[in-house]
Structure 1
Amino acid sequence: MKVTQIPFQKIGFFSKTMLDYLEKNPKINPFYNNFPDFEGFQKQIAEKQTSFSKSSRLVLAEALKNQYESFEISEKTKTNISLLKKEHTFTISTGHQLNLFTGPLYFLYKIISAINLAEELSVKFPNQNFVPVYWMATEDHDFDEINYFNFDGKKVTWNRKDGGAVGRFSTDGLDAVFDVFSEHLGNSKNAQYLKKLFADGYLKHHNLADATRFIANELFAKYGLVIVDGDDAKLKELFIPFVRDELEHGTSFKAVSKTIERLANNYKIQVNPREINLFYLGDDYRERIIFENNLYKVNNTEIAFSKDEIFKELHKNPKAFSPNVIMRPLYQEVILPNLCYIGGGGEQAYWLELQDYFNAVNIPFPILLLRNSVQVISEKQARKLAALNISKEELFLNQHELITNKVVENTAIETNFKDKKQFLEQQFLDLKEVAKKTHISFLNAVNAQERKQIKGLEKLEKRLLKAEKKRQTHLVERITILQNELLPNQSLEERQRNFSEYYLEYGITFIDVLKIALKPLELQFTILEI
């Protein structure tokens, strides 16, 4: 195994928002609290310790005990759940949708980032306990985003009727998906493990939340990972005051609207708030709550409440009130003694819209940490890159730019016409001096001819490069094939591939080397050669 760290700035796949955040650009500083370094964590510990109550800890621990009741868990996870009752225990959390068979590779990177950071903080702050948490997005209803995963260039899809919170979805029909997936895997020892993991997860559990918990627990329980399902009546009871505030005062809309007005001066806005940022959740639907004609209505249904009725419903049935993308982060921070949220660039960009809202409701805003990103390169691929003289930074160039650079490097012909253009421009300068002594019409003619000649040279320059690429067809094909292998669809592989491709080849070693390689607080992109 060989690990190389490269600044995110050199990769080319990360937004201006995230790059400015990593560089602590003054333009973005007003939109977050503490930065992800040891000094920031020391401050965050002090803030969270005084704001998270003992009673909330007991509710959380009891809820987690109930959620895990029918699961076999490691002693380390059991210990971590118990530690959450103690006032010096804090969580490091990440979250992810309930993608079929974990979805894209970065599911692993998020969770390992949380595990490794919790371990690193335990060493730095020995008087505190740190628990890694995976927050399952069980209340999402964007089924089209989670009903598939990619394996070996093929899309493995679960087709079923959409509707409601995905965590409650029955796993019926996943036996057909299992049959299709199994055909692709073969019969190696690693293939047999993947088949068993899929079957035990989806064919032995009745809903998607339990299936996902089982799979994540199987992969990471030995590291003490705690998995939280927010679709829980006892946890929702802790959130009642904030739901009531939202229904009565629309605090999130007011606070976030002001924030994004300032943020939009320099950055792209990820999400926009609604006047009420809550859904009403039923067994097979999740619909927005809207306020019209002095009534709280559930969109696309006949359900409606007066003000008194909806508050009674909130206390009687808090599980029915589901936060949307604006309020979900607050819900997480209300029920967890959380210090840090680890997520991708898009996630962190919308968290940056929320600090003023957190301040308005007096909840500490967590540290935001960009998750580890990884490019896996096999030994064979590393040898090919070396043979083609492609550096690790160059690998992430636009394919046209990469090929052009390498073709130019590999030719003895001068393909850059810069000197010729400068010579031509000098000749026309002399002509212009002559033209200035005659009529303006001649000067205009000289200027027009200059533009024509320069443009002609530029066209010839492009034609020469095109011809040289044809002459070096073999080199161009090798570069194209290799980069497409490493960056499928000209995107980071972590957004395209499923972990099963690498597990099939390397087995548990793949997760073990990730665990060793990922350094969350170094804030760099990781290239892993195995």
Structure 2
Amino acid sequence: MPTDCISYQESGYFTSLINDYLNQNPDIQSLYHRFPSLENFEKQLFEKEKNFNSDIAKRKTLVSVLEKQYSNLAVSDLTKWNILALENPKTFTVTTGHQLNLFTGPLYFLYKIVSTINLTKQLKLKYPEYNFVPIYWMATEDHDFEEINYFNLHGKKVRWNTESGGPVGRLSTQGLEEVFEVFSLELGIGKNAEYLKKLFEESYVRHNNLADATRFLANELFGKTGLVILDADIAELKKHFAPYAQEELLKQTSHRKVLETSEKLKDYNIQVNPREINLFYIENDLRERIILQNGFYYVNNTDLKFTETEILKLLENHPEKFSPNVIMRPLYQEVILPNLCYIGGGGELAYWLELKSYFEASDVPFPILLLRNSVLLATEKQAKKADKLNLSWKDLFSKQQDLMNTKVKSFSEFSIDLTAQKAFLRQQFDNLNKIAEQTDKSFTGAVKAQEVKQIKGLENLEKRLLKAEKKKHQEELERISDLQNELFPNQSLQERIINFSEFYLGYGETLIDKLFEELQPLEQEFKIVIL
């Protein structure tokens, strides 16, 4: 079976900004604090320890909130220990965040959490005098319900058809009984199928809101590993963030600082653009922007309107009504957690790279940013098939048309590449052009037109040769494309499309055990995991 490795940069699936970050391009080094290496965590620890431990109340609040949130769950001893350890000044966190996708959504939900847990284990070995707690930050305050209300199984969408206008974490799970029936039929029978049915039912049918359902699900999958799951849509935690929210309301610091940084990223695709005020007003069925206009604070699309005094009073008494958007949420996270590192996908890291100057203005340490593990799951049968077809993993990561062209050229008994002939033709026309320059200008134009025509003719012959050879080797090319389509559904990354249940049906607990065994979070390598 293929044994080659694929770096993130070689995979072709990451943006130029993320590739430059991974390559530590000097042009963007001002946008992050410390690059993720075991050695760099030492300075990060000292910095965060000094900054975060100045207010011991934050640790007490965090532990109190987590104990309440876990009060109705079966909690592993390791998770209990980790929650209590957060009160210890020598305890720090590694955090990943994720939307509340139905039944975890795409596969990379698992990879984020396994990366986070495995990094805490590495840090404990390197710095044994400290404790490291893996945190899954549930994105309970998001409102993009259309992004999370489905998952893909066996090429079909399992969708939850309902409406949501407020924070998704507060959304009622009513109606998920029907989704459960559809899901159950699709799973079929067997031990692993029965486990998945039970897991879905206990998570979504027996809990009243999406936050509780997702917490139960993540705890069932990862609780024994010590994962701590946090819902930060809580008044007690937001009280600690209130000074930063007040700064935002009065001075709009984030808008100014992020715009300054965005200028440094003008050659890249900017991930998010800041608004003047990067806070939402939220209630159970409402999540709308706060807009400052003519000295008043308006809640968009409502009749709500506040003076400066009124909105500051509201913030003091009801901080839970203020929700940070994508620009301010990272700061909220780093204010309430003793966090060292954020683990996220390429898109997430791209918007974090816009925020460093805002963190500096807020006097909050900027965390180490680590690209989560990316994984291609393949069966032994698929790996053997790739070997039989003489395909490397690098081949399989290629765009399909490029792969087909490369393979047909390798199959052909003669060269399909007419580059040498085109070069020879150009040389002949160079000589003709020198002669033409000594005669009439109209002759020069005729020579150039003939050159274009002849080169075009060779290119067409090259295409026809390629097409003819493809037809000749059609059967083998179909086997190659079939394998690539299995591994890269819809010509995209498997991890962005398929739900974990599709693999769990065949492999059960082995799937997650294998991920813990194989994933190395500090390696810049697209991991191929053979099941």
TM-score by length of 2: 0.98
Q: 2:324·2:332 contact (CA, 8 Å) conserved in 1?
A: yes
Q: Deviations over 1:127-163 (max 9, x none)?
A: 1100000000000000000000000100000001221
Task: Return the alpha-carbon distance in structure 2 between the equivalents of residues 90 and 475 of structure 1.
Answer: 54
Q: Distance in 2 between matches of 1:441 and 1:486?
A: 57
**Corresponding residue of 2:494:** 493
The farther-off stretch of 468-477 and 495-504 is 468-477
Is 1:441 aligned to residue 442 of structure 2? yes
Q: Deviations over 1:268-325 (max 9, x none)?
A: 2100001100001111110111112221111111111111111111111111100000
Deviations 1:417-440 (A, max 9, x none): 122222322333343344344333
Indicate which of 143, 148, 151 corresponds to 1:149: 151
**Deviation of the 1:4 alpha carbon:** 6.2
Counterparts in 2 of 1:459 and 1:38: CA distance versus 1, 3 Å? same
| Matching of residue 469 in structure 1 with residue 466 in structure 2 | no
Structure 1 residues without counterparts, runs of 5 or longer: none
Q: Is the 8 A contact 1:2 1:528 kept in 2?
A: no
SS at match of 1:393: helix
- After superposing on structure 2, the runs of 4+ consecutive aligned residues of structure 1 that deviate more than 6 Å are 1-4
Change (3 A) 1:2 1:126: farther
Structure 2 CA distance, aligned partners of 1:437 and 1:301? 79
- Amino acid in structure 1 at the alignment position of 2:490: N
Q: Could you tell me how far 1:411 is from its partner in structure 2?
A: 1.1
| Counterpart for residue 32 of structure 2 | 32
Q: Distance in 2 between matches of 1:297 and 1:48?
A: 36
Tell me the equivalent position of 1:338. 339
**Displacement of 1:470 after TM fit?**
1.4
Structure 1 contact 3–526 (Cα < 8 Å) conserved: no
Unmatched segments (≥5 aa) in structure 2: none
> 5 Å matches for 1:512-523?
512-523=513-524
Checking the alignment, whether the CA contact within 8 Å between 1:3 and 1:527 is kept in structure 2 is no
Question: Structure 2 matches for 1:126-525, cutoff 5 A?
Answer: 126-264=128-266, 266-525=267-526
User: Which deviations, in whole Å up to 9, do the C-alpha atoms of 1:6-44 show, x marking residues without a partner?
Assistant: 211110000111111011000110000011002221111
Tell me if the contact between 1:217 and 1:225 (Cα under 8 Å) persists in the aligned partners.
yes
Q: Partner residue of 1:63?
A: 65
What SS does the aligned partner of 2:522 have? helix
CA distance in 2, matches of 1:46, 1:116: 22
RMSD between aligned residues: 1.3
Specify the alignment match of 1:109 in structure 2. 111
The Cα shift of 1:414 comes to: 1.9
Give a deviation string over 1:162-213, Cα, whole Å, max 9, x none.
Answer: 2100000000000000000000111110000000000000011000000000
Tell me the number of residue pairs that the alignment of Structure 1 and Structure 2 aligns: 529
| TM superposition shift of 1:508 | 0.4
For residues 447 and 474 of structure 2, the distance between their equivalents in structure 1, rounded to whole angstroms, comes to: 40
**2:43 corresponding residue in structure 1:** 43
With 126-135 and 425-434 compared, the bigger mean Cα shift is at 425-434
Classify the secondary structure of the residue corresponding to 2:288.
strand
Structure 2 CA distance, aligned partners of 1:319 and 1:395? 48
- Greater shift in the superposed pair: 3-12 or 392-401: 3-12
Query: In 2, distance between residues paired with 1:34 and 1:320?
Result: 34
Range 62-71 or range 446-455, more displaced: 446-455
Amino acid at match of 1:99: N
Deviation at 1:5, TM superposition (A): 4.0
C-alpha deviation, 1:115, in angstroms:
0.0
Task: Report the AA paired with residue 290 of structure 1.
Answer: I
- TM-superposed deviation, 1:2: 9.7
Deviation at 1:3, TM superposition (A): 8.2
1:506/1:4 Cα in 2 relative to 1: closer, same or farther (>3 Å)? farther
CA positional deviation for 1:375: 0.3
What is the rounded CA distance, in whole Å, between the counterparts of 1:158 and 1:237 in structure 2?
Answer: 34
Distance in structure 1 (CA, Å) of the matches to 2:2 and 2:121: 22
Q: Distance in 2 between matches of 1:104 and 1:474?
A: 32
Partner of 1:17: 17
Distance 2:239 2:427 in 1: 78
- More divergent stretch after superposition (436-445 vs 152-161): 436-445
Stretch deviating more after TM superposition (421-430 or 382-391):
421-430
Q: TM-score w.r.t. structure 1 length?
A: 0.98
1:204-252 CA distance string (max 9 Å, x none)? 1000000000000000011100000011111111111011111111111
Cα displacement string for residues 97-141 of structure 1 (whole angstroms, at most 9, x for unaligned residues):
000000000000000000000000000001110000000000000
Structure 2 Cα separation of the partners of residues 290 and 296 of structure 1: 6
Partner letter of residue 217 of structure 1? N
Identify if the C-alpha distance between structure 1 residues 132 and 329 changes in structure 2 by more than 3 Å, giving closer, same or farther: same
* Cα displacement (A) at 1:333: 0.4
* Matching residue's letter, 2:33: N
CA distance in 2, matches of 1:267, 1:437: 49
Q: Does the Cα contact within 8 Å between 2:48 and 2:339 map onto a contact in 1?
A: yes
Q: Name 1:7's counterpart in structure 2.
A: 7
Measured in 1, the distance between the counterparts of 2:403 and 2:160 equals: 37
The structural deviation recorded for 1:60 is: 0.5
Contact 2:100 2:148 in 1 (8 A): yes
